[in-house]
Amino acid sequence: MKEITTKQINGSKKIGIVVADFNSIVTNALLNGAVQKLQESAVTSEQIIVVHVPGALELARVVNKLSKSGLVDGIIALGAVIKGETNHYDYVCKETAAGLSQVSLQGAVPVMFGVLTTESLAQAIDRAGGKSGNKGTECAAGIVQMLSVEAQIDELV
């Protein structure tokens, strides 16, 4: 049986982080968690490109542009969508998830979905370095695994 699993990624790989500035008190914490985890995984700051967009709905377009650019080998998309008084939340969540999923499946590089979709600011804070962890940290570990396993598959082809 051959098992393909995580190894450290080589120093030539570039990782893009596209972060929504809406609810920046949360998304900055996600960004910090992602960068710290990447650095713990021996990814240098020179291998990381950070791009800011206005809100979650703009993530997919810029992630798609970055994916096609050839500048990066993997992308982490970070955002925080927090429910308000109306059903606008539902549309933002649905379209953001659909857009990013499409880019990851059909695009050139793997995309990690690091967009919080919560009922309250408190729930978001809990998931951006609070008692429920840090979604940015999770996504950083995930992109390292994805780049590693995809490279190993390419070597078998």
Ligand X SMILES: Nc1c(NC[C@H](O)[C@H](O)[C@H](O)CO)[nH]c(=O)[nH]c1=O
What Å distances lie between residue 26 and 20, 31, 36, 155, CA to CA? 10, 9, 16, 39
The letter for the amino acid at 25 is I
Q: Is 82 marked within a binding site? A: yes
Nearest residue to 128 via CA among 46, 38, 29: 29
Site of tokens 């240098």: 44
Q: Is 88 designated active site?
A: yes
Binding of residue 95 to ligand X (CB under 6 A): no
CB-based burial label for 59 (10 Å; 0-12, 13-18, 19+) = buried
Q: Which of 15, 29, 48, 56 binds ligand X (CB under 6 A)?
A: 56
Site of tokens 């659909």: 98
Please tell me which residue in 7, 88, 90, 132 is annotated as part of the active site. Answer: 88
Q: Which residues contact 31 (CB under 8 A, 6 or more apart)?
A: 17, 19, 50, 78, 136
Of 91 and 153, nearer to ligand X (C-beta) is: 91
Q: Which of 82, 100, 139, 146 binds ligand X (CB under 6 A)?
A: 82
Q: Which of 16, 17, 19, 22 binds ligand X (CB under 6 A)?
A: 22
In the complex, what is the shortest distance from the CB of residue 141 to ligand X, in angstroms, rounded to a whole number? 23
Q: How many amino acids of this chain bind ligand LTPLIIQW (CB under 6 A)?
A: 8
Binding of residue 88 to ligand LTPLIIQW (CB under 6 A): yes
Residue ranges that bind ligand LTPLIIQW, judged by CB under 6 A? 81-82, 84-86, 88-89, 92
Could you list the residues that contact ligand X (CB under 6 A)?
20, 22-23, 54-58, 79-82, 92
